[in-house]
Amino acid sequence: MSPGLSRRGFLALGGAAFVRPSRENDDEVVPWWTDCPTSPGYRRLARATATEGLVVSIADAGAYSLSFIDDDFPTSKPIRLPSAAARRELQIVGARYEMSFVEAGARPSLIVMFQKPADVVVYADDSRHGGVIIVALELR
């Protein structure tokens, strides 16, 4: 694991989702991540359909990667996450999930399993806040 990142710090990457009131109706809450597809502040990094979960790993060099977990193959080909964004905050929103930490060798990993398969889109938050946002919509 990177010497600058503790196990506690790595687990803390999984942040909570926040909502803001809708402009039309203050009583209605709208998930803030609904702006991701249309906002220039969010850049789409990856997409997966009907995935069971995902794995976020960090290498000794401090590079982050994300892999999707599905039935066909335990994990997809890793997708490189922008280090600057991944170090700031990683948020998983829109679906219920369980998170665990596995420290196996040089690649400690954060494993996220969704309670139901989900369609997932991963965004880099290029805004002032920064971070990586994982939007997961459960399949019915």
Place 119 in a pLDDT band, splitting at 50, 70 and 90. Answer: very high
39 found inside a domain: yes
Give the residue numbers spanning the domain of 107: 7-138
25 found inside a domain: yes
pLDDT digits (tens, 9 = 90+) for 54-75: 998 887 677 888 999 987 666 7
1 found inside a domain: no
Instruction: Compare 85 and 6 and report the one with higher pLDDT.
Output: 85
Instruction: Give the residue ranges of DSSP H helices in the chain.
Output: 7-11, 83-88
42 found inside a domain: yes
Question: Is it the case that residue 23 has pLDDT exceeding 60?
Answer: no
pLDDT of amino acid 106: 64
How far apart CA 74 and CA 111 sit, in angstroms, is 12
11 found inside a domain: yes
Instruction: Report CA torsion sign: 33, 136, 77, 8.
Output: positive
How many structural domains comprise the chain? 1
pLDDT digits (tens, 9 = 90+) for 80-118: 888 877 777 788 888 888 988 888 766 788 889 999 999
Q: From residue 87, give the alpha-carbon distance in Å to each of 18, 48, 124, 130, 135.
A: 19, 23, 12, 9, 18
2 found inside a domain: no
How far apart CA 138 and CA 120 sit, in angstroms, is 9
126 found inside a domain: yes
